[in-house]
Chains A and B, each alone.
Chain A
Amino acid sequence: AQKITQTQPGMFVQEKEAVTLDCTYDTSDPSYGLFWYKQPSSGEMIFLIYQGSYDQQNATEGRYSLNFQKARKSANLVISASQLGDSAMYFCAMFPPGNTGKLIFGQGTTLQVKP
């Protein structure tokens, strides 16, 4: 069965520093997609970045990059130059094939950015 594991329940980072949020996944399917979402306390789930299993290069979106290591089944999110507004819960999610519209989520990591 597919599974997403986020081992860091909470993390602190100093403003303007970079931070890495860990995500490992488990699937036997060769084709899958990996997402990262940000959820502030308001509840909205904000899309950050996507990586397809066949993508050769790591995805980047502004200050967000995804460190995709397929052999290790990891998809870590790197946030560069942290800002106070980055304080939120972050979820890693997987989109397995054959399951339309369904994302499998990890338990999330709470990130707090300190001034």
Chain B
Amino acid sequence: KAGVTQTPRYLIKTRGQQVTLSCSPISGHRSVSWYQQTPGQGLQFLFEYFSETQRNKGNFPGRFSGRQFSNSRSEMNVSTLELGDSALYLCASSLTGSGNTIYFGEGSWLTVV
């Protein structure tokens, strides 16, 4: 059974640019969440999608957005990149997003220069 797949694994962007990260959840999982991990702030929840709808949202500016497709695959987008957006972005999937085990992908390492 394939795990959570994130692409790309590593990327370098310039300030002001935008970036799109992709996540394919475990087959059958309909809930996809995104987290940002930095040395200073630790792991912070960005948002969660279920059946193409955003159900939960963390405390991040509007530059951070996401979407989910009918096949449960999800993308997150960060516009107008800032140096502080440099982080490991982790995608997680679960069956329903509530009361189930949550599995993570390998993450996407974003460096903003």
Binding site for B on A (CB under 8 A): 33, 35, 37, 42-47, 50, 52, 91, 95, 97, 99-105, 107-108
A104 to chain B, nearest CB (A): 8
Question: Across chains A and B, which 6 residue pairs bring their CB atoms closest together, nearest first?
Answer: A101-B48, A45-B104, A101-B33, A101-B97, A100-B97, A43-B107
Known: A43-B88, A43-B107. A101 touches B102 (CB 8 A): yes
B31–A50 CB distance below 8 A: no
Question: Does B12 belong to the interface (CB within 8 Å)?
Answer: no
- List residues of chain A with CB within 8 A of the CB of B16: none
| B interface residue count range (under 10 / 10 to 19 / 20 to 34 / 35 or more) | 20 to 34
Binding site for A on B (CB under 8 A): 31-33, 35, 42-43, 45, 48-50, 55-56, 58, 88, 90, 92, 94, 96-99, 101-107, 109
* Minimum CB distance partner of A47 in chain B: B103
* Minimum CB distance partner of A91 in chain B: B43
B42–A47 CB distance below 8 A: no
- Cα separation A105 to B90 with both chains bound (whole Å): 13
B102–A100 CB distance below 8 A: no
**Besides the known contacts A44-B105, A100-B97, A101-B98, 19 further A-B residue pairs in the complex with CB atoms under 8 A apart:** A43-B88, A43-B90, A43-B106, A45-B104, A47-B103, A52-B99, A95-B99, A100-B48, A100-B50, A101-B33, A101-B45, A101-B49, A101-B55, A101-B56, A101-B97, A102-B56, A103-B45, A104-B45, A105-B43
